[in-house]
């Protein structure tokens, strides 16, 4: 009887670990400010043809520095081959966009955006 409980618990644990490892898709956005002054704005990531969007407002982009942001989505919304757009909006409504695509379930996608 105890052996039977151990087997169920072990199977549940293995299923839980598998589910956790495949549930998220990560996008790392690095924003480099090569402009003339510090800037302030918002960083967005939008999954193309999907309602999935995430954003971080009121961000500071110091002059001459690179700031990293991580966005996490449900992997079901972003299968391999699915496109996304990363965007920084700063200053007087200046938009910088970079398009990307999920190329692998096992790795994060890295995007670089440069403020000039």
pLDDT tens readout for residues 16-66: 445 445 589 999 999 999 999 999 999 999 999 999 999 999 999 999 999
Confidence (pTM): 0.79
Contacts of 58 (CB under 8 A, 6+ apart): 40, 42
Q: Is the distance from CB of 42 to CB of 89 less than 8 angstroms?
A: yes
- For residue 4, the tally of other CB atoms under 10 A from its CB is 8
Average of per-residue pLDDT across 84-104: 97
pLDDT at 104: 87
């Amino acid at each position: 009887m105890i052996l039977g409980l151990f087997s169920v618990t072990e199977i549940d644990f293995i299923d839980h670990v598998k589910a956790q490892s495949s549930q998220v898709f990560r996008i790392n956005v690095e924003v480099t400010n090569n402009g003339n002054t510090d800037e302030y704005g918002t960083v967005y990531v939008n999954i193309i043809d999907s309602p999935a969007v995430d954003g971080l407002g009121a961000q500071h982009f110091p002059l001459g520095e690179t700031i990293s942001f991580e966005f996490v989505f449900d992997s079901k919304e972003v299968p391999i081959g699915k496109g996304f757009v990363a965007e920084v909006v700063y200053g007087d409504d200046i938009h910088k966009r970079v398009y990307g695509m999920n190329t692998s379930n096992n790795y994060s996608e890295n995007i670089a955006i440069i403020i000039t």
